[in-house]
């Protein structure tokens, strides 16, 4: 009966909340025609911290290059829908107890078909720009979601001669923390700023559906184009890819409760609620995903980001970020 498979890998969602682009930008010089190349005007600091963070930021401003602000904090909403392949699922330790035939060794095989996870997450990210092109950050996300799948058990003689097929929807909650590092660089060419972003995160997730901490390593890369606008505003678009690795493997264990319809178990006249432990191998359809998004900077202190993921999973991320 354990159909519950822990689709939870679920959360690996994780979190590729990258600092998608406060690329360095040269301050515009005078429109007056000159015969010799003019040195860009220095950019003044906003507060004394900018003399120390990011490192080398003071020298960049002296050369007319605008580095990112020392600190940033983001509010994030993240939606994900991801198919899963669940194999080798078994239930055991049933309550009320079931006496399985000896060849089952106390474990009931369950096929988990058409498995999918849907999550909605909210949280925040905060970090420091150590260098003009490098940041470190931490993330906290709270997730509420559900897993859907069809649980199929073949007939077991003497116990449930006809087996069963049940469409299941299981709600769950989870909390995720992550730490990461990001690298971003852009260079102004005419009126646009091509940029590239690399990031890597280590995330850990606890959930009420497994008795394990789910650890995830995520790496991603993005390339894009930013168009500076007047008054330090800007708009950008990017596309990229992301890879997810589970160092702990894909085996999940936990406890699950299910209500079996009347007659599922031989001689069972009424619906029966049963609890058991489970073990299953849960894998995302693919560790790779693509993403694309747009961002708008209202000022050098504020950015809004909208990003979509596609191919192996569908994701939507909305974030607002303050830089100070």
Q: Which residue in the block uniquely carries the two structure tokens 């004394």?
A: 48
Q: Is residue 58 part of a domain?
A: no
Q: Give pLDDT, residue 129.
A: 95
The domain total for the chain is 1
% of the chain exceeding 90 in pLDDT = 48
Q: Is residue 144 part of a domain?
A: yes
Residues contacting residue 181 through CB under 8 Å, at least 6 positions apart: 134, 135, 136, 137, 199, 200
Which 3 state secondary structure label does DSSP give 286?
coil
Q: Is residue 277 part of a domain?
A: yes
**Taking the model in full, what pTM does it have?**
0.79
Q: Is residue 35 part of a domain?
A: no
Domain that holds residue 123: 7-24+68-323
272-284 and 234-245 beta bridge pairing? unpaired
Q: Which residue in the block uniquely carries the two structure tokens 């989870």?
A: 174
Q: Give pLDDT, residue 175.
A: 97
* Strand ranges for the chain from DSSP E: 25-26, 65-66, 71-95, 108-131, 134-153, 164-186, 193-207, 214-228, 234-245, 251-260, 272-284, 288-299, 302-310, 314-323
Q: Is residue 48 part of a domain?
A: no
Q: Give pLDDT, residue 90.
A: 92
Q: Give the CATH number for residue 219.
A: 2.40.128
Q: Is residue 12 part of a domain?
A: yes
Say which range, 59-73, 131-145, 244-258, has the weakest mean pLDDT: 244-258
Q: Is residue 51 part of a domain?
A: no
CA 307 to chain centre: 12
Q: Which residue in the block uniquely carries the two structure tokens 């994900």?
A: 80
pLDDT in tens, 237-282: 999 999 988 776 678 788 888 888 998 988 889 999 988 888 988 8
Average pLDDT rounded to a whole number, residues 110-136: 94
pLDDT in tens, 2-44: 333 333 333 333 344 433 333 333 333 322 333 345 667 777 7
Token representation of residue 27: 């301050």
pLDDT in tens, 155-211: 898 889 988 898 988 899 999 999 999 999 888 898 899 999 999 999 999 998 777
């Amino acid at each position: 009966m354990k159909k519950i498979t822990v689709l939870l890998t679920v959360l690996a969602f994780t979190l590729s909340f990258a600092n998608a682009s406060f690329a360095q930008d040269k301050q515009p010089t005078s429109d007056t025609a000159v015969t010799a190349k003019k040195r860009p005007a220095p950019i003044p600091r906003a507060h004394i911290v900018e003399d120390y963070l990011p490192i080398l930021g003071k020298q960049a401003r002296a050369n007319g290059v605008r580095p990112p602000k020392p600190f940033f904090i983001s509010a994030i909403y993240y939606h994900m829908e991801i198919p899963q392949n669940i194999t080798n699922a078994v239930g055991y330790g049933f309550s009320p107890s079931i006496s399985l035939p000896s060849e089952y060794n106390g474990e009931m095989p369950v096929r988990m078909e058409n498995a999918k996870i849907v999550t909605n997450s909210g949280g925040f990210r905060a970090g420091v720009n150590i260098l003009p092109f490098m940041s470190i950050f931490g993330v906290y996300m709270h997730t509420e979601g559900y897993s859907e799948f069809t649980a199929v058990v073949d007939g077991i003689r003497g116990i449930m001669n006809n087996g069963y097929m049940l469409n299941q929807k299981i709600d769950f909650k989870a909390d995720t923390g992550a730490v990461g590092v990001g690298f971003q660089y852009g260079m102004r060419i005419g009126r646009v700023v091509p940029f590239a972003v690399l990031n890597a995160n280590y995330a850990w997730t606890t959930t009420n559906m497994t008795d394990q901490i789910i650890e995830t390593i995520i790496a991603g890369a993005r390339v894009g184009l930013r168009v500076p606008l007047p008054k330090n505003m800007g708009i950008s678009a990017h596309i990229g890819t992301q890879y997810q690795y589970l160092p702990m493997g894909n085996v999940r264990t936990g406890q699950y409760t299910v209500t079996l319809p009347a007659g599922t178990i031989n001689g069972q006249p009424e619906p029966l609620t049963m609890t058991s432990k489970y073990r299953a191998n849960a894998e995302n359809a693919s560790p790779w995903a693509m993403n694309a998004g747009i961002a708008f900077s209202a000022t050098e202190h504020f950015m809004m980001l909208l990003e979509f993921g596609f191919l192996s999973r569908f994701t939507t991320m909305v974030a607002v970020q303050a830089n100070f």
